[in-house]
Amino acid sequence: MTDQTRVDMARALVLSGIILYIPANILPVMTMTVTGEVEALTVMGGVEELYDSGLWPVAAIVFLASIVVPFLKLTCMTWILFLHSTGHHQRLRTKMFRILRQIGTWSMVDIFLLAVLTAVGQLGVLASVRAEIGGVFFTAVLLCSLFASDVYKPELIWRSARVPAIP
């Protein structure tokens, strides 16, 4: 895989991620039925629900992991790729990319939570949780950003630079 292919693929994946990010946040990821109350929850709705229930630490974690981190990841990746083959902020980009990869390991926590909830939350009439289409989009967003950060290498930041980094 040439460097250019890697960059192209990363760019395509990031773009896909951005596109999918919209339905992922608009569409409900799951439907919760608790004692007769039917609620279709979007990711943000879930955070609100948790916050309303007084579980603000959990709400904060979910908010960070599900909204902030994917958003940051996508924007950062966009920024990194936008500046690809330029010599600007190479050091910063490298550091940022390293951080993104570290954080990326946490990004699936939401999907995992959804899967566990759907599997366990089957209490018949009392409560049930059903995964909705939004979850698919959300997963797709995360997968896109995951693969994007995987195909892109920090070396590329330096290798592709047309202007020598150290004059």
- The interface region with other proteins, picked from 10-18, 68-76, 113-121, 154-162 by CB under 8 A, is 10-18
Provide, rounded to whole angstroms, the least separation between the CB of residue 118 and other proteins.
18
When asked if residue 90 is in the footprint of other proteins (CB under 8 A), the reply is: no
- The interface region with other proteins, picked from 22-30, 89-97, 101-109, 155-163 by CB under 8 A, is 22-30
The residue type found at 142 is L
Among 25, 29, 30, 33, binds other proteins (CB under 8 A): 33
Distances (CA, A) of 25 to 74, 95, 115: 14, 29, 17
Residue ranges with strand state E in 8-154: 30-34, 37-41, 127-131
The neighbour count for residue 70, using CB atoms within 10 Å, is 26
What is the footprint of other proteins within residues 121-150 (CB under 8 A)?
A: 125, 133, 137, 140, 144
In Å, the largest CA–CA distance within the chain is 70
Among 3, 12, 78, 94, binds other proteins (CB under 8 A): 12
Of the two residues 63 and 137, which places its CB atom closer to other proteins in the complex? 137
Instruction: Using CB under 8 A, count the residues that bind other proteins.
Output: 26
| HEC secondary structure over 40-60 | EECHHHHHHHHHHCCCHHHHH
